[in-house]
Amino acid sequence: MKHTGFSSGRTRKLKDFSDGSVRRRVMLTVISIVTGFFLWYFITLIPSINTFLASPGQVLSALVSESKADGRYFQDIYISLKRVLAGYFLAFVCAVPVAFLMGWYPVVRNLIEPWIQFFRTIPPIALIPLVILALGLGESAKYTIIFLAAFMVMVVTIYQGVREVDKTYIKAAYTFGAKDWNLFFDIMIPSSFPFILVGARLGMAASLTTLIAAELTGTIYGLGARIQGAQQFMNTSVVLLGIITIGIIGYVLDKLLLLAEKKLTSWK
């Protein structure tokens, strides 16, 4: 009897889709970072590239000098981080109930969803003139820009999670006499919880990518302001230092949210 390609008589080993051991992950991460730094170093040995891309040594020197300048570097980190977290947490607190209302009530969904879809396609930087006219050049304008960017990402993601809840569970619960609040707390929230956490991670990324745009609203403090000031003087080492700092902050915050996601969804 002729066998097909899937019944060759030899048992195939199941592919390992796990993340591997902690030691292996750490080793691969270290290799990736070291390789990246070596590539960066060798690329900047080319004079034409080094004119706009500072070398690792130049960035390290900028870090030392900026750290010694009355602690200004760490003050900028603190101010920018405060702006990001304030706008982000406000967006999260608003996005969760709005997303659940849109997913639960068709009337609310039909009223709000067109505006959500409209505004989420507009870059936050395009709203800066209006925000400045409405709120001035204070901190509230910066919080607003970051809030808008994070809110649009999170509300769409969480709303999609609410829509993906298996309706079979809801119908079965109704059959056994469950009330609306039972459905909400016992079915809707647990089922959409992974989407809430994914939305939280995406919202954090949106907050950080909007930071520089938010700090265009008139300020001399913050990483975005530092990058813009260094750009005017063609100080590429300080520009790159600010970019790397934002990247490291984003990486650390994303890992913390990922750790929280694993802990809070261990029941899955």
Which domain CATH number covers 100? Answer: 1.10.3720.10
Q: Which of 113, 134, 133, 145 is nearest to 224 (CA)?
A: 145
Number of domains the chain contains? 1
Question: Quick check: is 174 in a domain?
Answer: yes
Residue 214 and residue 259: Cα distance in Å, rounded? Answer: 28
Question: Quick check: is 8 in a domain?
Answer: no
Question: Quick check: is 23 in a domain?
Answer: no
Give pLDDT tens digits along the chain (268 positions).
455 555 555 666 656 556 667 788 788 888 988 998 899 889 988 888 888 888 888 888 888 887 776 677 888 889 899 999 999 999 999 998 898 888 878 888 889 888 888 888 888 778 888 888 888 778 888 888 899 999 999 999 888 888 877 777 776 776 776 666 767 767 777 777 888 888 898 999 999 888 888 877 677 788 888 888 887 778 888 889 888 998 899 889 888 888 887 777 665 5
Q: Which residue has the tokens 């050049």?
A: 137
> Which pair of tokens denotes residue 6?
């899937």
DSSP character at residue 188: I
Question: Quick check: is 57 in a domain?
Answer: no
Strand segments, DSSP code E, in the chain are none
Which domain does 210 fall in, by range?
A: 72-264
Q: Is 92 buried (19+), middle (13-18) or exposed (0-12) by CB count in 10 A? A: buried
Question: Quick check: is 126 in a domain?
Answer: yes
Question: Quick check: is 95 in a domain?
Answer: yes
Question: Quick check: is 52 in a domain?
Answer: no
> Which pair of tokens denotes residue 68?
């010694």
Question: Quick check: is 46 in a domain?
Answer: no
Q: Is 103 buried (19+), middle (13-18) or exposed (0-12) by CB count in 10 A? A: buried
* 209 within 8 A of 149, measured Cβ to Cβ: yes
Query: Which pTM value belongs to this model?
Result: 0.80
